[in-house]
Structure 1
């Protein structure tokens, strides 16, 4: 049987010997790119030197991504806290549409989505990709328990009713990942264990306080002490984790290194014969801030800045592994963060380092500092020139963009809040993928933005910055309205001056929420 595509290419090249466009198209169609998403935890846009010349942190590997690819100056997580942001990235959908996914969760919470959910991993798996997740999951697990009841942590003893000798019944492998090596939640939330393909490694657990003293002699409490109780390990600002069960071999300071090693091992098992997708959600620079000895004291932003240097080194190591195996050229490498940095005004004043680069608020907040994130794309074969894209982009949009790149249709009903920015990847910096976006704070305060305006349906930050929520004064504004195109710091509340715009944006917000 004649292969008409190959015959057409052969005939084309005979007739037009100086042309190779069809050959290039066939080659790219035949070899879709590998996809690696490195997802930092609580890292700010302003931490990356190439995005913020005033950054006190050296980030050479991330700077190289900026110089060799596309950076996005107006990219946002779908929410300003861990779980809903990760849900949005993987599903292409705002987390508020799935109530269980719309808030931060613990390490024993059941899965926040059903197993019939189409994720980016499910989609790529069906497209012929080998898929893997290595790192922080934080989307819930269905643990098997000793008493048959729901998994729960006893705060008094520090122990749970989980039977770690048995595999979890529902986890990442049920959501499109062929391989999984995960930590259940954040690195300051128990249990402190690794699971490989749903089985807990080293299942005979102890308590964190069996290894780590709760306090050190020189311990001084800081603004972050409010997140832990007297049972938690707290050594200094940023260096704390909650009490709970821990595998005997688990060490908090080694967690990032272990995740990196397992990510490198996953890549090492791949080849150019089959495309692969690696989702690498890191546990840093989220608390506890435990930088390596190589970087301790090397930044100008304290332990946090030193830890960001470790994140930069992870990027360098992943790139080097891909290069070593001849896979870097055709790998779409995506770097981002799940929300803005947890970096209050106290730290900006202390170090002169603005982790969220000139934006109001921080992690958890509905203000832009809570959800504007770094987004960097590198793909040597497909992106050959440095570019910066100013248009509005959500991390939910990665799903549709990947689908467009592969020329694959997203199943009906999936990724409903995902808009492809593929033309941007192809070099069109004037393209606008979306005209509006909804923001969602840690306490459930909502906002909607357009290219010019941002309306917040409430008063206060909605998150970690004080005051989180304010009651309206009599006759005063009931929400916030900013001309965001000009007032990027969200200082001048125009709510009372533009009632029709408030009404229009609030109606638009409710319509999107109720879809």
Structure 2
């Protein structure tokens, strides 16, 4: 369904040169929660100071059209599997947006582990149940390819419980220390695995609310408590980068900083900003899923370059696999594509189709400069996960959409001018793509022909390898 871009042969040569180094590259993904498009300095924040992330951008690349998903759990599932969340096998009935991801799914941690990597996750998981207490231990990170896990099951809405590996070690942890503790654990992991290739997945609980910040950062930002939290995260980004330099790993480590979705509008001052984008978390407008993305790898990623090419969290698995000499699963559809050429500064045009899902509802498609949003249907008002949707987004976006909307997203980044009536042929072309996605991936409760099965129990095999799902049967 996806097409690779032109210049592939040049990309192969470039990647071959990268892999020619004595050691495989390391990977660090810093995944924040509910951070808006404009909430760091290098993406235009007027009040939040993020010198370490800004320096990453100066020494690496910014991608200004990078997409996650519109809400927490699905976004994590997409990053780890390289797939749209509705395609995935689940350990539940699929009625809620946050998936209990089945063990039959293959994660980027498993791909890298098979390629000889040490793998560690530090922070929010949210794939075993969207709860701090009601979650499935059998779906823990250690069952999905992570050797080391210091994690919390879900969001920090009220409390945070901490697990190490598969054991609960702390109930009601001090939220003001979470950003530091996750980073401490990631740094310790790097210390212990500096002599082998490693993958660090550092998934911060914040700036999702409840907000909390360590005393040295309290009251320091011009943006209030929210800004304090983001500035503390930036400080810990700096600590991690310094550790890589100290260990002599700086030139051989790809470090990515991004967010799981747009800002939580209903949290007002405790939420972030998606400006100049329209919408917010949960919305199919750009502010819901278009997030900041910075990547740094000295000598591999060119310094100070900005790309407007459409890339996404679903691209991380195939791209890491390529750079690590790993294997992308061939027994299932993977939606992401290898974008290593873009990361390495190639200017080849990406022929990309990206689909917008809001929770489990297919809401639109982007192809090049064009973005189409389709109307809501009557069924949407009855879907449990969408009932509160109008309350989650800015007032201007709260009405159930009743007509097709088309935007030239390159000229109209704020989605102010619906030009569907002036471009009927473009609307027809993009509507065909939407229908293809409905058949292939699915829409709401209707799963596509290439969606993996739902199930009530984790898929297991005696040798603890992930079962392969073929036509709904366990193999």
Q: Where on the TM-score scale, by shorter chain, does this alignment land: which range?
A: 0.7 to 0.9
Answering whether residue 349 of structure 2 is matched by residue 358 of structure 1, we say no
**Equivalent of 2:26 in 19, 25, 34:** 34
| Counterpart check, 1:120 vs 2:108 | yes
Task: Work out whether 1:450 is the aligned partner of 2:367.
Answer: yes
Work out which of the residue numbers 307, 322, 334 in structure 2 matches 1:416: 334
Structure 2 residue runs without a partner (length 5+): 1-12, 378-388, 441-475
Match of residue 337, structure 1, among 254, 259, 268: 259
Q: Name the counterpart of 1:136.
A: 124
Tell me the distance in 2 between the aligned counterparts of 1:391 and 1:424.
8
2 CA distance for matches of 1:417 and 1:60?
34
SS at match of 1:186: coil
Report the equivalent of 1:369. Answer: 287
SS at match of 1:73: strand
- 2:177 maps to which of 249, 254, 261: 254
TM-superposed deviation, 1:407 = 3.8
TM-score by length of 2: 0.79
- Specify which of 443, 465, 480 is matched with residue 394 of structure 2: 465
- 2:214 aligned to 284, 292, 303, which one? 292
1:438 is the counterpart of 2:360: no
3-state secondary structure, aligned to 1:118: coil
Residues 496, 34 of structure 1: CA spacing in aligned structure 2 closer, same or farther, 3 A cutoff?
Answer: same
- Displacement of 1:314 after TM fit? 1.5
User: CA deviation digits over 1:139-173, x for unaligned, max 9?
Assistant: 115xxxxxxxxx999xxxxxx688xxxx9233111
CA–CA separation in structure 1 for the residues paired with 2:221 and 2:319? 35
Q: 1:383 aligns to what?
A: 301
Q: For 1:426-480, what per-residue CA distance to the aligned partner results, in whole angstroms no more than 9, with x for missing partners?
A: 221x2233422011124735110112211111269875333665356xxxx5232
Q: TM-score, length-normalised on structure 1?
A: 0.74
Assess if the C-alpha contact under 8 Å between 1:133 and 1:278 holds in 2: yes
Counterpart for residue 197 of structure 1: 165
2:56·2:295 contact (CA, 8 Å) conserved in 1? yes
Distance of 2:250 and 2:238 partners within structure 1: 12
1:188 aligns with 2:157: yes
Residue 258 (structure 1) shift: 1.9
2:80 paired with 1:90: yes
Secondary structure class of the residue paired with 1:30: coil
Q: Helix, strand or coil for the counterpart of 1:369? A: helix
Q: Which residue of 2 aligns with 1:170?
A: 139
The secondary structure found in structure 2 opposite 1:45 is coil
Picking from 55, 65, 70, the partner of 2:61 is 70
Q: Given that residues 168 and 199 in structure 1 are in contact (C-alpha distance below 8 angstroms), is that contact kept between their aligned partners in structure 2?
A: no
Q: Is the CA contact 1:365–1:442 (under 8 Å) kept in the aligned structure 2?
A: no
The DSSP-based 3-state class of the residue aligned with 2:121 is strand
- CA separation of 1:456 and 1:374: change in aligned 2, threshold 3 A: same
Counterpart in 1 of 2:224?
302
Distance 2:333 2:371 in 1: 24
Compared CA separation, residues 173 and 433, structure 1 to 2 (3 A): farther
| Structure 1: unaligned runs, 5 residues or longer | 1-20, 106-110, 142-150, 154-159, 203-246
Following TM superposition, by how much is the alpha carbon of 1:29 offset from its aligned partner in structure 2, in angstroms?
Answer: 4.4
Preserved CA contact (<8 Å) 2:357 2:364: yes
Correspondence for 1:484: 409
- Displacement, 1:94? 0.3
Change (3 A) 1:38 1:498: same
Aligned residues: 412
Q: Which residues in structure 2 correspond to 1:96-115 (within 5 Å)? A: 96-98=86-88, 103-105=96-98, 112-115=100-103
Kept in 1, the 8 Å contact 2:18–2:300? The answer is no
In structure 1, the residue corresponding to 2:361 is in which secondary structure? coil
Between the aligned partners of 1:410 and 1:132, the Cα distance in structure 2 is 20
Structure with the larger RCO, 1 or 2 (CA within 8 Å, 6+ apart): 2
> Does the CA contact (< 8 Å) of 2:19 and 2:323 recur in 1?
no
* Contact 2:112 2:324 (8 Å CA) reproduced: no
Q: In 2, distance between residues paired with 1:292 and 1:504?
A: 51
| Equivalent residues of 1:74, 1:393 under 8 A apart | yes
Counterpart of 1:57 (choices 44, 48, 56) is 48
Cα separation, partners in 2 of 1:47 and 1:152, compared to 1, 3 Å: closer
